[in-house]
A and B are shown apart, each in its own frame.
Chain A
């Protein structure tokens, strides 16, 4: 049952990723990248990572598409089309080797939903047991990122703040 959903989804993700790279027209490539993000969000939602899927759908398919389009409108029409598709062989070798290395190291990863994997055996039960009692928050993801790991969150927010300020100084009017 799961395979009938995940395999077509994964195939569509690979196809959209490849066509975003190979597309000549960059504005078209931006929209295909949005489709890619949306399919990725569906895949994550299917695996139960609702928060990640939600974020991917909103940021990847929504906001970053708008920013990519605005950035493309800043360039001249000549620059929004890519012309040469020469294959660089050192790049191909690096890509294939790193892909094979990643596939080889995949065997060491725990199986999805494995109760004995380190994350599921030690950290997760602790948070799952303590969240309601200590913070009255049923959504454990929210209590982890906003309470138990709030220091990470404030630094991430500072990074977003810095990105906004940096854009203003890089692209200011005067």
Chain B
């Protein structure tokens, strides 16, 4: 379990800062086709905003304290599965794996299908990277706690 930060300044600043960070992260992911950035960078920003939240407010006590940990590991798989699922939809559509040209979305031109494929892939990469950042953070900080318990 991670304790909330003692300083009220840190908690109040985080409360103001985190929504803007997350909005910026989502903007970077979905706007990756028009500006620098994309799934990877946006995912890292989103992951660090979640880490900031965990450091400032902690994981809570009792039943829910292990929840964030488990959720982070689950979403790691969700991100990769979204990317692989887009690839498989292309296979079903009759082309190579991840060839968005044949993405199985009816009523779209080929270029629009590829645009959608890129967007979905960006979101998949972003989810995977953000979840991995939080998961590694949990692994490192919970390992620390085990040492405290034994000492």
Residues of A within 8 A of B (CB): 50-51, 53-55, 58-59, 62-63, 66-67, 70-71, 73-74, 133-139, 141-143, 145-147, 150-151, 153-154, 157-158, 160-161, 163-165, 167-168, 170-173
Q: Are A154 and B98 neighbours in the complex by a CB distance under 8 Å?
A: yes
Q: Can you list, as one digit per residue, whether each of B69-95 has a CB less than 8 Å from chain A (1) or not (0)?
A: 000010011011001100100000000
Q: How far is the CA of A58 from the CA of B114 in the complex (A)?
A: 28
- Interface size for B (C-beta < 8 A) is 54
Q: How far is the CA of A31 from the CA of B114 in the complex (A)?
A: 41
Cβ contacts under 8 Å, B44 to chain A: 55, 58-59, 62-63
Closest chain A residue to B31 by CB distance? A139
Q: How far is the CA of A141 from the CA of B118 in the complex (A)?
A: 12
Cβ contacts under 8 Å, A62 to chain B: 44-45, 48
Q: Are B143 and A171 neighbours in the complex by a CB distance under 8 Å?
A: yes
Cβ contacts under 8 Å, B132 to chain A: 160-161, 163-164
Q: Are A160 and B129 neighbours in the complex by a CB distance under 8 Å?
A: yes
- Indicate which residue in B45, B76, B133 contacts A161 across the interface (CB closer than 8 Å): B76
State how many angstroms separate the Cβ of A80 from the closest Cβ of chain B: 14
State how many angstroms separate the Cβ of B99 from the closest Cβ of chain A: 8
Cβ contacts under 8 Å, B80 to chain A: 157-158, 161
Cβ contacts under 8 Å, B142 to chain A: 171, 173
- The number of inter-chain residue pairs (CB within 8 angstroms) is 149
State how many angstroms separate the Cβ of A144 from the closest Cβ of chain B: 10
Closest chain B residue to A73 by CB distance? B144
Q: How far is the CA of A58 from the CA of B41 in the complex (A)?
A: 7
State how many angstroms separate the Cβ of B98 from the closest Cβ of chain A: 4
- Indicate which residue in A136, A161, A168 contacts B77 across the interface (CB closer than 8 Å): A161
Q: Say yes or no for B37: interface residue by CB 8 A criterion.
A: yes
* Between-chain CB contacts (< 8 Å), 29 pairs: A55-B44, A58-B44, A70-B141, A74-B140, A134-B114, A135-B111, A135-B114, A135-B118, A137-B34, A137-B115, A138-B34, A139-B32, A139-B34, A139-B36, A142-B38, A142-B122, A143-B33, A145-B38, A146-B122, A154-B83, A160-B128, A161-B77, A161-B132, A164-B136, A165-B73, A167-B135, A167-B140, A170-B139, A173-B143
Cβ contacts under 8 Å, B114 to chain A: 134-137, 147
Q: How far is the CA of A146 from the CA of B83 in the complex (A)?
A: 10
Q: Are B47 and A63 neighbours in the complex by a CB distance under 8 Å?
A: yes
- Indicate which residue in A55, A71, A146, A161 contacts B128 across the interface (CB closer than 8 Å): A161
